[in-house]
Amino acid sequence: MIFSACKTSEPTSKTSGQSAQVLSPPVEQINEDSLQYVLLKNRKERELLNYQASATRKVDILHTELDLIFDYQKTAVIGIAKISLTPFAKSQKTVMLDAKDFELGKIGGKTRGQESNLNYRYDQKQVEIYLPEALNLGDTLLLTIAYTAFPERNSGQGSEAITDTKGLYFIDPMDTIPGKPRMIWTQGETEHNSKWFPTIDKPNERFTQTIHLTVADSLVTISNGMLTKQKKLDNGMRKDTWELRIPHAPYLAAIAIGDFGKVEAKHEDLPLAYYVEKGYEKGAAKVFAHTPEMIAFFEKKLGVKFPWPKYDQIVVRDFVSGAMENTTASIFMEELRLTEREAIDSEWDYIIAHELFHQWFGDYVTAESWSNLTLNEAFANYSEYLWNEYKNGKDEAKLKLITEKETYFQEALSKKVNLIRFYYEDNEDMFDSHSYSKGGVILHMLRKYVGDELFFQSLNNYLTTHALSSVEVHDLRLAFEKTTGEDLNWFFNQWFLDKGHPELEVEVDYSIPENILISVSQRQDLKEFPLYKIPFEVSWYEEGSRKSKRFELNQAFQQFALENQTPVDQIYWDEEKNLLLEKTIKVDSAFMRKQFLESQVGVARYEALDSLVAWENFEVLQELIPSALKDELWSIRELALRITQSHPEWLLDSQDLEDLIFEIAEGDTRNSVRAGAIDVLGAYDPFKYQAALKRYVNDESYLIASSALMGLVALGEEGPGDDFMERFAGEDNFRIVIPMADYYLNTAKKGKGDWFEQKARSLKGEGLYYFLGYYAEYFVTFPEEGRDKALAFLFDKMENSNQVFVRLGAFQGLLGFADDEGVVARIKRIAAKESMPQVKNYFDYFLQALSDEN
């Protein structure tokens, strides 16, 4: 973890009617002032033209019924849609529906008992349906639309969070890829469900639904709501009927079809199910084990029962996002497809909590427009903190919160926009670290300001007042104001409706120890960013007892007298790291040493160690490491071990330190900490600890076994030998595969080309990313083992993987073949087609460096 927002440096650090036409003056009269006026006028005109309003509601869809079959060969959806709708505010002569890349058949309409065929105009994006007479308020129209949808047509780049726009995905539709199951699943956010059924694809629409799915009788279907009927058909087919009788937004409609195994669970009377490929059921039971407890926890915090009739969680192949919160049926990426052993060290609670919390914030109460997306995503993001705080303690939760701050600060280097924003080019632009990470931290600050009791009462007010409806940011503010009795415009204006964050310079005057003076200056550009009102806390310690006072910064420069009375020589500004800001303050290593030794806040102790590492003050670090290894916060123990691994010579100076690390390796309560200790022992003296490493390598935890195997690999030819090491060659978990790849490279083992090929095709996601470097190196070293096949694989991953880090890993691997001009030329051609600017910039940087070298 990097603490640039709160870490300090030596000696200074930055932590983290009628209208008149306005004519432009003639060119010859333009001076600097008038030119600035013209530029300002043009910008404001563009904003008016590009304003992203909430969708105007002309009709209201009441119910959608779909009858679907699937053409795997053409990757098409053949459907009949029956859509019941009524005018929203006034009578209508036409109905406009979103329907992207369809072939439309007959459209029929029925109203007031009269049926008729309806004329329509279709442009491949929307269908405008002409009614024979006006549909008046109170009338209901039933549309029947026969269609074939082609999701593959005109699909394109999505966002950072959702990387494609097909809406519905056929996975290996012709069943041609060995070991890969055929699947169908959907991903409708933002407005992609209109790629497979006609609708009004806007988040402020809401309807009930019935979906009939005709599939092979061997397959399992999942959709929103409850499975109400299954009917066997001829030719080995079956029709399943799913009904959701509570209205929800169109983007939340979903289906998943595949040869799934099912794990059943319950929370009180609420049925839960975890769907995963067969053979992974025991792993799914572990991965999703905390779901009932999560639901109970969130229900208690919110005072609102889980609002839907069931909750399914489905793991699929090749998902285009991390996960998606479809109503009653969240879909997850395949990284959550784990064996029972792999699930021992599963750390997926954060994403499970995120999608679960969306069932309240996003599904039950829905942002009325993508401009208000943070009303969905900030809450889901903050649920990760809430669950972590409850399950693992405040200190561990704070480390997650700081990660969110750092994610936002990194994006803010090149992008500072309002959290609620009505000016953007594409809906997908809203899916960024502002909507997610910044939004979550802002909710945390609001909680700290109003207090826990009023915070959760306000959320209850918000959810109950706006149940099954769409909202904008002012609905949230008014819920808080009604609950707290306080005007909170100042908070929402500066955090939700403006951009940027505070940049503070803090000075502490210790010259009168009984009354410390604190000076704070706001240094952000006030022409572009707000002057902030910031409640903050100052804390200090008196004989081990923590004291604190709260103040409010509301000026550009302000001084605060602590009036502490008892002399102190060190105080902490926002010790608990609750605030989203960058801070400059003068401190030194002695300050951080004392902070580590006296702070009762785990995240502050972590910050102290992390800062000392950044300053490379290894003398102080060596002194603190024994205490850090005994810290109650496992993250500090883990950090201390990483530091020690870089300085194994410290163990030469202290038998007690060596014994302590061995004790941790033998029995720490956290597997990742045990693995860290094993890494230290392997770096220090793998020969001395060879027997222990050979024990650890059989541990159930892949984390521990992997660290032990890496230690044995370090022994090289003097290790336990090929017979022992080859016991692990059949493993497909990347934590074992990577040490084995390292072993084959270190010992120059020929004849392993097929092994490297098989592992490259079995690994996914993070594991594949880490493996690709070893994979490329092997075929650079031994081209006769299959260099051309390896190059084809790497080129394919660089060009076609939907995971950014896999494309990056393939690029890095291909650079190993840079002595071949043909390879470099093809790398450049693929790099030129890269659609994500950040990734393309990365490619271009290293390709330019390569050109400079040559």
Instruction: List pLDDT tens digits, range 607-639.
Output: 999 999 999 999 999 999 999 999 999 999 999
As a whole number of angstroms, the distance between CA 854 and CA 851 comes to 5
Choose among 182, 189, 197: nearest CA to 151: 197
For residue 165, what pLDDT is reported? 86
Q: Is the pLDDT of residue 744 over 90?
A: yes
Q: Is the pLDDT of residue 224 over 90?
A: yes
Q: What's the pTM value of the predicted model, to 2 decimals?
A: 0.93
Q: What is the pLDDT of residues 683-721, one digit of tens each?
A: 999 999 999 999 999 999 999 999 999 999 999 889 999
A 10 A CB-CB count for 268 gives 10
As a whole number of angstroms, the distance between CA 712 and CA 700 comes to 17
Q: How far is CA 11 from CA 384, 518, 588, 592, in A?
A: 35, 18, 6, 11
For residue 460, what pLDDT is reported? 98
For residue 743, name the pLDDT band (cuts at 50, 70, 90). Answer: very high
Q: Is the pLDDT of residue 247 over 90?
A: yes
Q: Is the pLDDT of residue 29 over 60?
A: no
Q: How far is CA 102 from CA 131, 184, 255, 385, in A?
A: 21, 18, 19, 43
Omega before 11 cis (within 30°)? yes
As a whole number of angstroms, the distance between CA 747 and CA 737 comes to 15
Q: How far is CA 128 from CA 85, 505, 687, in A?
A: 14, 58, 76
For residue 81, what pLDDT is reported? 98
Q: What is the pLDDT of residues 406-421, one digit of tens each?
A: 999 999 999 999 999 9
For residue 160, name the pLDDT band (cuts at 50, 70, 90). Answer: low
As a whole number of angstroms, the distance between CA 263 and CA 275 comes to 6
- Per-residue b or e along 836-845, where b marks 16 or more CB atoms closer than 10 Å to that residue's CB: eeebeebbee
As a whole number of angstroms, the distance between CA 573 and CA 502 comes to 14
Amino acid 233 reads: L
Choose among 600, 605, 507: nearest CA to 548: 600
Q: Is the pLDDT of residue 760 over 50?
A: yes
For residue 21, what pLDDT is reported? 44
Owner of token pair 């300085």: 647
Q: Where are the beta strands (DSSP E) in 24-75?
A: 59-71
Q: What is the pLDDT of residues 770-780, one digit of tens each?
A: 999 999 999 99
Q: What is the mean pLDDT of residues 340-365?
A: 97
For residue 15, name the pLDDT band (cuts at 50, 70, 90). Answer: very low
**Pairing mode, strands 59-71 and 207-216:** parallel
As a whole number of angstroms, the distance between CA 315 and CA 853 comes to 45
Q: What is the pLDDT of residues 51-95, one digit of tens each?
A: 999 999 999 999 999 999 999 999 999 999 999 999 999 999 999
Q: Is 802 helix (H, G, I), strand (E, B) or coil?
A: coil
Sign of the alpha-carbon torsion through 791, 795, 801, 806: positive
CB 493 within 8 A of CB 535: no
As a whole number of angstroms, the distance between CA 806 and CA 790 comes to 15
Average pLDDT score, the chain = 94
| Angle in degrees, CA 49, 53, 55, rounded to 5 | 125
For residue 2, name the pLDDT band (cuts at 50, 70, 90). Answer: very low
Q: What is the mean pLDDT of residues 304-331?
A: 97
For residue 557, is it left (φ>0), alpha (ψ between -120 and 50) or beta?
A: beta
- In sequence order, which residues have a C-beta less than 8 Å from that of residue 505 and are 6 or more positions away? 520, 521, 523, 583, 584, 585
Q: What is the mean pLDDT of residues 799-817?
A: 93
